[in-house]
Amino acid sequence: MKVPKVGIEPTFPREHDFESCASANSATPATTIRFYLTNSQGSRELLMRLGIIGLPQSGKTTLFNALTRATQPTGTTGKIEIHTAVVDVPDKRVDRLAEMFKPKKTIYAKVTYVDIAGLDGSAGKNGISGALLNQLAQMDGFIHVVRVFEDENVPHVRETIDPLRDIQAMDSELVLNDLIAVERKLEHLAEEKKKGAGRDKTLIEREHVLFERLHEALIMEIPLRDVEISTEEEKLFSGFGFLSRKPMLIVLNLSEGQTAPDIDYPHQRSKVVALQGKLEMDIAQLSPEEAQLFLEEYGIEEPSLNRMIRLSYDLLGLMSFFTAGQDECRAWTVRRGATAPEAAGEIHTDLQKGFIRAEVVAYDDLMELGGMNEAKAKGKLRLEGKEYVVQDGDILNIRFNI
């Protein structure tokens, strides 16, 4: 088992990472444009942030420790505390590419987890307080840890254990908060209309129609995740960071050996998973060798956490493409539906600006045929243009000219 690395700080690629990546394809004939980047200006890395929320004592910090192999104290209460860590997204495909290319470096896709304490369903009609709200609004999605485990030494803030109640309470809090923001915006729009001057009238009208729709949903307690919104409309409220619009992964935190309750959660961009938080944290804190022995002993193929990390990545609507060569094998993150130039832009903005074509081979084809040269000989190494929509698992080599 390959154990992905965990870093506490975001790691940004250095200059030579781009060089090696851009020139990474050994099957590229010498006649194609050489990839050479002289500086790292324009570098960016898509770092998705998942906020871990839930009632006090539900196991947020325990899950955070499990996910990130951190050792933050658990069982603390009261204060608003925030922990952040960047984690590799486990991906067997990256491992297999590394076996094939034997690169000097192997780099996984990354996701950031943020343990956000302080939400306990008691914000009331004024909504969540400023600093906390600011943190929450910045997240790309949420992991809601819900207590199912029984432990008389750990008091439940609501006294009894009732996962569905806790899920609904959290959702209501998020919805209420969005409602407050939407109402404020509607008031503001009404004022703007009355005054008549200033911004473009048609834009104000479009916003008005959209925010009325959002309002209608929210007063019926429908999270904004469930509202059908066009990409154009989405742009009109992208600055708001609406909480009930963010993808939601509900994690039922079980005791060892406990069976998961059946939870019906019929929402868009949402999923319910169950795991044994404390056990997962204990496994995460073993050395890789010990963890391997432990998993074998219990007949577990891989820690539930790995699945959970991938799930959260999927839920965010992301996928990976790869670059592979002798210097480096690397997973890159893009939104599903990204075109080849957009994918190239993840590697470096110059690759997007100067994009000519992408050499593409599907992961399965490459594995089946055993190498880039073989893939090429069988016609599986395709040349794709600007319109090409990148598929999950594509191995790309970008031809560009700048």
Ligand X SMILES: Nc1nc2c(ncn2[C@@H]2O[C@H](COP(=O)(O)OP(=O)(O)O)[C@@H](O)[C@H]2O)c(=O)[nH]1
Give least dist CB 156 to ligand X, A.
Answer: 10
Give least dist CB 167 to ligand X, A.
Answer: 15
From CA 330, how far away is CA 39, in angstroms rounded? 19
Pick the closest to residue 26 from 118, 100, 132 (CA basis): 100
Residues that bind ligand X (CB under 6 A): 54, 56-62, 74-75, 117, 149, 151, 154, 253, 255, 276-278
Return the half-sphere exposure (C-beta side, CA atoms, 13 A cut-off) of residue 167: 24
If one asks whether residue 320 binds Mg ion (CB under 5 A), the answer comes out as no
Contact range with Mg ion by CB under 5 A, out of 24-32, 52-60, 153-161, 266-274: 52-60
Residue whose tokens read 């004592």: 57
From CA 99, how far away is CA 93, in angstroms rounded? 10
Give least dist CB 187 to ligand X, A.
Answer: 36
Q: What SS3 state is found at 318?
A: strand
Nearer residue to ligand X within complex by CB, 58 or 106: 58
Q: What SS3 state is found at 274?
A: strand
Nearer residue to ligand X within complex by CB, 210 or 275: 275
Interface positions, 322-341, toward Mg ion (CB under 5 A)? none
Give least dist CB 174 to ligand X, A.
Answer: 17
Helices (H), 138-162: none
Nearer residue to ligand X within complex by CB, 77 or 238: 77
If one asks whether residue 61 binds Mg ion (CB under 5 A), the answer comes out as yes
Using DSSP bridges, classify how beta strands 382-384 and 355-361 pair: parallel, antiparallel or unpaired.
Answer: antiparallel
Give least dist CB 63 to ligand X, A.
Answer: 7
Q: Which does 59 bind (CB under 5 to 8 A by kind): Mg ion, ligand X, none?
A: ligand X
If one asks whether residue 62 binds Mg ion (CB under 5 A), the answer comes out as no
Q: Which does 103 bind (CB under 5 to 8 A by kind): Mg ion, ligand X, none?
A: none
360 CB contacts (<8 Å, ≥6 apart)?
A: 340, 381, 382, 383, 384, 388, 390, 394, 395, 396, 397
If one asks whether residue 57 binds Mg ion (CB under 5 A), the answer comes out as no
Give least dist CB 51 to ligand X, A.
Answer: 13
Query: What does 353-366 look like in DSSP terms, one character per residue?
Result: HTEEEEEEE-HHHH
Q: Which residues make up the interface to Mg ion (CB under 5 A)?
A: 60-61, 117
